[in-house]
Structure 1
């Protein structure tokens, strides 16, 4: 990167995000502005560390910042809600290049659930149930629910076999503000083995351009039928065939990845309600792999104006007391048509590879 400073970069992008949000009838709050600034700081570091030319990723950056603003995701939260990395992508000319990719961490999905979860009143801390813990599933007596019981052994070296989210849900009609709505606690549970589908989707994505994709997928499918998640990860042949990334298989990250996937599998299935079409679309794009790819395809060959010149021109034409205008009449990427929504997200704001993965087999 050249001498372009973080301040200049932020001053270039943030007003554009404000203008874009205003077009969707959303006025940025101070918290959303903080989220955008924090995300810009993190991406700037990734760009610098990887020696990227900001001109080549400026459309990518703008789209990510719009998602961050719409969903109010905080890159500087602890634990963090989103992360940024580079990925290799091929343009329409067949040339490979790097681009910035945003991922939502487990805590980011929890924040989205708090903020947009349909009828969600409060999300309690989740339970990590490990091997050897005494756990009893909830029981139903008609419409009455007997809560689950959990007695941890305290041995944190054991594998997590399930994750439980106790969530207070509103019940009954939505009264006016002067009447408090009733709540009931529901328990959302997912098992370790259900993460196998996430791993298979990861392997399928890795083989997308492999000339022997079909043969390798059949081999993986046959092996997966009679083997557990951990047996797949322990198989050198499967690791090699499916090109399983180190984040899935290295001892220091494997369990963290599996827990993250279990948490995501619960949170993403709980319906969400959005009060704005842009917010809904950005949520779908951020959590749905196929829509992520559609967005990449749409923005791939969008404007390639030299970033340095654009920043310089903007600084000359904008008076100190005026807000910078949106970038000069560049074609904006089309928003891909959204498929039928199954998850939907209004709630009070809540305070690390995530994605909605479908079984490819």
Structure 2
């Protein structure tokens, strides 16, 4: 008879419920609480999201679709695309990111934010603070280390997903008490704290919904621009925009401002804007290489066209054309020219891109 008292090898503790199957174990709880746009991500990863379900033109996630994802890849991470009327203020306060200091500066200027629901995988103040906001507004980022998440921009990886960078699980926290909130007790979007009016005025901008931004009309307007050498003003705007992207602040905001200024210049007849937009797109994708851009640049350009143009571009400007036209490999960086030339960094004044073919700016991929 076998010796039943013999010690056996130590068994590994089984993971807590839901940790092996974040998506399959959580999507129903989220949808029951009104957070219906549950997105499937690869297991233990933050990207990529499923195609066609993000951005202003993204489809809503049906219960049938979510169940299909849960069957096909139950161990996938889970993310949320915010519903209408919800804004997330995403604070990164770790490593060389100083989002906590940025948030403090804004709170001194605008007044403190109400304590609210936070999703995070790190200690506070890192995390996404969720607020109710008016429907129909566009939003801009706060500043260095603080970005916004809304229906038309980005998504949030949430509990019980695994963060491969912090090597911890995401969780929901009540900011006031610091207590972890189970999914069954998650507030509905309509129950979130409201973003104060002064903050709404500071962060909101003209709406960027599909009704306002027409991608086909935007590409048609871009087709009116010639691929020709950039003029002096276009060179300066492109250089300034690329410098902003390297400045350590919000990359998305720098790209929004830079692309809008170039579209305004094109409307006024300044030359080489189509080529300059390609340069700015390359710079943005290089700066944001740690996360997928998900067609952000296209949407920004099409939005700027919808907002700042009122017909075909004006007659050509009389700006001088810079004499020196360099290739992409000769683009210096103000901070370190030799290093920038080796990696083909961003273009300063007087640079013409080598591409001459007309093509859509970027497809959402």
Structure 1 length-normalised TM: 0.20
**Is the radius of gyration larger for structure 1 or structure 2?**
2
Q: Which has the higher strand share?
A: 1
Q: Which is bigger in relative contact order (C-alpha 8 A, separation at least 6)?
A: 1
